[in-house]
Amino acid sequence: MNKTAEFAGTFYPAESENLTELLNSFKNTDCGNDYKSKAVIVPHAGYVYSGHAAMTAFEHLDASENIFIIAPSHHYVFSDIAMPEYTFFDTPLGSIEVNNRIIKEIAEKYPSIITNDFFEGEHSIEVQLPFLQNIFFPQKQSAVEFMKNLKKLGKKLRIVPILVGKCDYRLISDIIAEYWENSSFVISSDLSHYYTFEQCRQIDTYTASIIEKGKIQSFEQAQACGLCGIMGLVDFANKQNFSMVRAEMYNSGDISSDKERVVGYGSWYLYEGQKNNFIEKYYAKYLLETARQSILFAINEEEFIPYHIPPALLEIGASFVTLKINGELRGCIGSIYPIKPLILDVIDNAKNSAFQDPRFEPLTMDEIENIDVSVSVLSTPERINYKDERDLLSKIYPYGIILVEKTRRAVYLPIVWEQLPDREIFLNSLKEKAGLPPRYFSKSLEAYKFEALYISQDTINSD
């Protein structure tokens, strides 16, 4: 039994050629990196509004034996999850087979309903299917694309459609974990609904920070219609020490003239590792060049505004920029806590290191050619709980450390361990930097640890 395409001609073009042309127009020939992910979060609105955001993440999706599409139900109220009895879902680009075997497995293991009823009139799954067909089995492709796609010949695209009702997000997390090895996952969700343009931006920026930091306990239902699916994927990522990377984010007010009742659209893909490892692999050179350009523009009293900023660098982040001449420190200023997009933090800290570090005179034009620039991208600080100073000494290596004693504060980046490898000397020196005696100790002394990605020209050249 086939599920007919109900939204062809409304949410997306009904003619296959027009649909293919529109989908291809969303593709980014240079999406910033070639990482392939087994899980994405994508919007499900009409293509004219959310198509670009969806495609930006779909281009990172890895082809797997099965592709789960986990989406909210907009018209029916039910408990847990629902799956269909259909054998195929039709679109103007052809039919996609449903993996009924997996559906039966899930129904035996997890609380669920098998019915076609809830899928009638529901767009949140259907609108994702043409993207899958276009990405994995394009109807028209160049000779180069054909050679790249040879490995897909003879490979079937099977989907596992899941509608989410009143559901504990841990059910979704468990299903993802159960089928992770041979599957990819599409989480279908728009973001905030029907706020003003500015309100939508504020809410969606907050939502993005939760997704990217993995703080799922901060979610509220009004932030996204597919919240349960998002929470399930983020929970799975947290358990695996994986990271969510932003692909795109905007709202309908950026597309249309209506700024009073807008809908937010965002997309992310899962990176199987820590965020700083991702940045190091794909954007280290970009960040280093951004810091240098910020200084060059500032010395000419101009503001450096980078173009084509990778969305991953628009995530909230904290950084330090360090300047040296002939190996000697010439400036170092940074942010301990993430409060602004990482790319802006690097731009601001580069300027401040060059011209606002109170320990040095402002950088001069004559020094520019000899300046060595490095960027450190910090993880979120975590408080160190300790019993006494001896216990604290056992927990500080090899991290960056922040010491706080009432109004006094000091920080050392992890790279300082290269100059101060002895733990006691390291800690005493940090106390002195905070304006405390080196042997000072108090139960009120707070300590925080963090990790840092260190980027310099030497590290880039060694890759």
What is the per-residue pLDDT across 285-329, written as a single tens digit (0 to 9) for each? 999 999 999 999 999 999 999 888 999 999 999 999 999 999 999
Q: Of 160, 159, 161, 191, which Cα lies nearest the Cα of 43?
A: 191
Give domain limits for the chain.
2-273, 277-377, 382-453
Instruction: Identify the burial level of 437 via C-beta atoms within 10 angstroms of its C-beta, where 0-12 means exposed, 13-18 middle and 19 or more buried.
Output: exposed
Give the dihedral sign, CA 78/80/83/89.
Answer: positive
Output the pLDDT for position 148: 54
Report whether pLDDT(39) > 60: yes
pTM of this prediction?
Answer: 0.90
Q: How many Å is the maximal CA-CA distance in the chain?
A: 78
Is pLDDT at 145 greater than 90 in this prediction?
Answer: no
Give Cα separations from 307 to 39, 94, 249, 301 (angstroms).
28, 39, 16, 19
419-463 residue pLDDT tens:
999 999 999 999 999 999 999 999 899 999 999 999 998 877 766
The CATH number of 382-453, from 3.40.50.10680, 3.20.20.60, 3.30.1490.150, 2.60.40.180, is 3.30.1490.150
pLDDT at residue 196, as a whole number = 95
Fold of domain 2-273? Protocatechuate 4,5-dioxygenase; Chain B (3.40.830)
Q: pLDDT value at position 100?
A: 97
Classify 277-377 by CATH class: alpha beta
Q: Which residues contact 298 (CB under 8 A, 6 or more apart)?
A: 304, 350, 351, 354, 355
Cis geometry, peptide bond prior to residue 398 (ω within 30 degrees of 0): yes
Q: What is the pLDDT of residues 189-239, one digit of tens each?
A: 999 999 999 999 999 999 999 999 999 998 988 899 999 999 999 999 999
- pLDDT of 220 reads 87
pLDDT tier at 146 (50, 70, 90 boundaries)?
very low
Given a cut of 90, is residue 130 above it in pLDDT? Answer: yes
The backbone region for 233, taken as left when phi is positive above 0, alpha when psi lies in -120 to 50, beta otherwise, is: alpha
Q: Which of 298, 284, 294, 189 is nearest to 234 (CA)?
A: 189
Residue 327 has phi, psi (to 5 degrees) of 80, -5
